[in-house]
Amino acid sequence: LTVDEDVESRIRAIRNDKTHGASWLSMSALDVLKVIAEEAPAGSSMQLLNTLREKAKRLIEVRPSMAPIANSVARLIHEAEAAGPIPLDSLRKAIAEKADEIVDESRISVNGAAENVSKLIEADGTIITCSYSSTVFEALILRPDIRVIVAESRPLFEGRLLAKRLAEHGLRATLIADAAMAAFINDADAAVVGADSVLADGSIVNKVGTRLLALAANDVGVRFYAATETSKFDARSLLGRAPVLEEGDPSEVAEEVRGVEIRNPYFEVTPARLITAVVTELGPMDVHMIVSQMEEMSRYVEPLLR
Amino acid sequence: LTVDEDVESRIRAIRNDKTHGASWLSMSALDVLKVIAEEAPAGSSMQLLNTLREKAKRLIEVRPSMAPIANSVARLIHEAEAAGPIPLDSLRKAIAEKADEIVDESRISVNGAAENVSKLIEADGTIITCSYSSTVFEALILRPDIRVIVAESRPLFEGRLLAKRLAEHGLRATLIADAAMAAFINDADAAVVGADSVLADGSIVNKVGTRLLALAANDVGVRFYAATETSKFDARSLLGRAPVLEEGDPSEVAEEVRGVEIRNPYFEVTPARLITAVVTELGPMDVHMIVSQMEEMSRYVEPLLR
């Protein structure tokens, strides 16, 4: 296996991975760039940077819906270029270290967002959620006093796993069908969901079911929080680019039914008007704060989109 | 098997039947009374009427959430009593005939409601629905020109069957997960659902998922119709009685998960403010019309509730 074959097989794995969330995949994407930095043949620093930039663009393209991939790899490329003209071996080492640093920062961000979310939940309160967001999970297990109502999250039932893990951490967990979210909304003090990305208008892209839960919560005055890291902010939406909403294999919804079209969208947009706050490592954020942060980030993301 | 044993086993079957809808079960309930009318030992017309009244109350009690059962059996008892003092044999015959008449009328009502609903759908339009309502099915197959988006309706997936049957009738059918209802709402010209019962405040009781669909529809200005017969009107709600919302077996939602409570509510209330119209065999009805009709029906239902 050449380095390039290894790299290409890792990129394919990221393209085909429908199990892990955007944060996890952005770590995998950084790993790919780290492998290139450490092992890819290169005659000069310039050549290595070119290879990195090219593969970074590929990584962004294979999962266009995942802002954290774009943010992480763009951030790494930006830092590598900012290192200036240094010898090839120093550059290889500097990039590998920087990749590890970004991974560490990402963990710190998740913990920070989780902590900020957990502070918004009252003592012995009840939270309702759908799908399985790592950030939401981290937030909830900081609060073993609460009860969590979890929608199973068809088609892949990741809500079942979340309910199981919450129970393992001592929380009271209740599992329901997605269709029953409105039937339980009055039991909840707040709804908390993750976000696969946050857009420049303050809306979020997240697993289907999120918008239904937001509508149910708003209808009865239950607060609706999106728990996420600023690394999920989609700077591309600043440029008016519409989010790409991935669709899964129809067979996940049902076996073929003669004459019936089966559709399996994974993601949907939940508008800002239904969101009480986007809660990140920086705290609860409104649309203005989101846009400022995004403008900052777009400085290094934008060059990679050309 | 004595007649009473046969009758009791039929009542148990109605109690345990989680497959059929309220209309179907109300026909079964009428069958039970017909068996009694034709075969139950009785010394006099009065004695037969007493037996019928007692079993009618049992039938209402075993499925308290199902207004059509109360309406059908109460109607039959009312007609039997209205027949006046006639010989036992004539009474037996009159009741059996009346039971058949009520069944026939019920079929005519379903057809009428279906026709009235079908007229509200524009040419080549797209309808979104959840669960499997016979009335909705009858309405949709009158319109082979339309496309229907069907939510699968967990936990028992009755939406899959509806999509299959619609396709067999030549309609374009699209099957989606319940969680994806908001993601498809903008594709629809109207949402149409059935109703297990209609309450005096104009709200409907229907399968969970209905309220989420109503919220999604209202959020984007898509019309939301409840298709049903007046036999589903719950006259008991006139007396302020809250609807009984049946809950199914948790194992239908998921296998046991250690430490996790699993809940499986079948029904939920969707408030009148989210419903464009309740469409029955009498046409689209508003709350005022619903209450007038219910007051009429309560004349014969109310005595059986004492």
- Smallest CA–CA distance, residue A114 to chain B, in Å, is 22
* pLDDT > 90 fraction of chain A, expressed in percent and rounded: 88
Q: What is the pLDDT of residue A172?
A: 98
pLDDT in tens, B159-174: 999 999 999 999 999 9
**Residue B180, exposed/middle/buried by CB under 10 A (0-12, 13-18, 19+)?**
buried
Q: What is the pLDDT of residue A66?
A: 87
- How many helices and strands, by DSSP H and E, does chain B display? 10, 11
Q: What is the pLDDT of residue B239?
A: 84
Q: Residue B84: pLDDT above 90? A: no
Nearest to B130 by CA among B150, B114, B146: B150
Q: What is the mean pLDDT of residues A176-191?
A: 98
Q: Residue B64: pLDDT above 90? A: no
Q: Is A170 left (phi over 0), alpha (psi -120 to 50) or beta?
A: left
pLDDT in tens, A212-242: 999 999 999 999 999 999 999 999 899 888 8
Chain A residue whose CA is closest to B210: A179
* pLDDT > 70 fraction of chain B, expressed in percent and rounded: 100
Nearest to B127 by CA among B111, B144, B115: B144
A259 closest CB neighbour out of B167, B261, B265: B167
d(CA B138, CA B128) in angstroms, rounded, equals 15
Size of interface A-B (CB pairs under 8 A): 158
Nearest to A46 by CA among A80, A19, A11: A80
**Residue A36, exposed/middle/buried by CB under 10 A (0-12, 13-18, 19+)?**
buried
Residues of A within 8 A of B208 (CB-CB) are 177, 179-180, 182-183
Between residues B221 and A84, the one the model is more confident about? B221
Please give the full DSSP string across B249-290, using - where no structure is assigned: -GGGT-S--TTEEE--B-EEEE-GGG-SEEEETTEEE-HHHH
Top-confidence range, A70-84, B8-22, B153-167: B153-167
B180 closest CB neighbour out of A157, A215, A265: A265
Q: Are the Cβ atoms of B209 and A262 closer than 8 angstroms? A: no
Residues of A within 8 A of B154 (CB-CB) are 152, 154, 177-179
Q: What is the pLDDT of residue A188?
A: 98
Q: What is the pLDDT of residue A285?
A: 97
Instruction: Band the pLDDT of B197: cuts 50, 70, 90.
Output: very high
Q: Residue B113: pLDDT above 90? A: yes
Q: Residue B130: pLDDT above 90? A: yes
DSSP state of A233: B
Q: What is the mean pLDDT of residues B12-23?
A: 88
Q: What is the pLDDT of residue B167?
A: 98
Tell me what ipTM this predicted complex has. 0.92
> Both tokens of residue A299?
């400085």
Chain A positions with Cβ closer than 8 Å to B: 130, 151-155, 157, 160, 163-164, 167-168, 172-184, 207-209, 211-212, 215-216, 219, 253-254, 257-265, 268
Nearby residues of A19 by Cβ (< 8 Å), 6 or more positions away: none
The per-residue pLDDT of chain A, averaged, comes to 95
Q: Are the Cβ atoms of B177 and A264 closer than 8 angstroms? A: yes
- Smallest CA–CA distance, residue A179 to chain B, in Å, is 4
Q: What is the pLDDT of residue A124?
A: 96
d(CA A30, CA A36) in angstroms, rounded, equals 10
Q: Are the Cβ atoms of B180 and A268 closer than 8 angstroms? A: yes
Query: Angle, nearest 10°, between helix axes A45-62 and A22-39?
Result: 160
Q: Are the Cβ atoms of A253 and B178 closer than 8 angstroms? A: no
Q: What is the pLDDT of residue B66?
A: 87
Please name the residue that has the structure tokens 């007051």: B295
- Smallest CA–CA distance, residue A268 to chain B, in Å, is 6
Instruction: Band the pLDDT of A84: cuts 50, 70, 90.
Output: confident
Instruction: Band the pLDDT of B244: cuts 50, 70, 90.
Output: confident
Please give the full DSSP string across A69-115, using - where no structure is assigned: HHHHHHHHHHHHHHT-S--HHHHHHHHHHHHHHHHHHHHHHHHHHHH
Q: Residue B240: pLDDT above 90? A: no
- Smallest CA–CA distance, residue A53 to chain B, in Å, is 35
Q: What is the mean pLDDT of residues A32-51?
A: 96
Q: Residue A306: pLDDT above 80? A: no
Q: Which of B208, B222, B224, B269 best tests the A interface by mutation, with the highest count of A CBs <10 A?
A: B208
- Smallest CA–CA distance, residue B189 to chain A, in Å, is 18
**Residue B212, exposed/middle/buried by CB under 10 A (0-12, 13-18, 19+)?**
buried
Q: Which amino acid is at A76?
A: L
Q: Residue A264: pLDDT above 80? A: yes
Chain B residue whose CA is closest to A170: B259
Query: Buried b vs exposed e over A81-112: b needs ≥16 C-beta within 10 Å?
Result: eeeeeeeeeebbebbbebbeebbeebeebbbb
Instruction: Band the pLDDT of B304: cuts 50, 70, 90.
Output: confident
> Both tokens of residue A136?
């939401």
Q: What is the mean pLDDT of residues B272-280?
A: 98
Nearest to A232 by CA among A267, A264, A263: A267
The per-residue pLDDT of chain B, averaged, comes to 95
pLDDT in tens, A58-72: 999 999 888 999 999
pLDDT in tens, A287-302: 999 999 999 999 999 8
Q: Which H or E run contains A151?
A: strand A147-151
Q: What is the pLDDT of residue B241?
A: 85
Is A219 noted as a catalytic residue in this protein? Answer: no
d(CA A229, CA A226) in angstroms, rounded, equals 10
Are A76 and A91 in contact, with CB atoms under 8 Å apart? no
Residues of B within 8 A of A152 (CB-CB) are 154, 253-254
Instruction: Band the pLDDT of B15: cuts 50, 70, 90.
Output: very high
Q: What is the mean pLDDT of residues B45-66?
A: 94
Q: What is the pLDDT of residue B104?
A: 95
* pLDDT > 90 fraction of chain B, expressed in percent and rounded: 89
Residues of A within 8 A of B273 (CB-CB) are none
Distances in whole angstroms, Cα of residue A44 to Cα of each of A41, A218, B233: 9, 57, 80
Q: Are the Cβ atoms of B175 and A151 closer than 8 angstroms? A: no
Active-site residues of B: which are they? 196
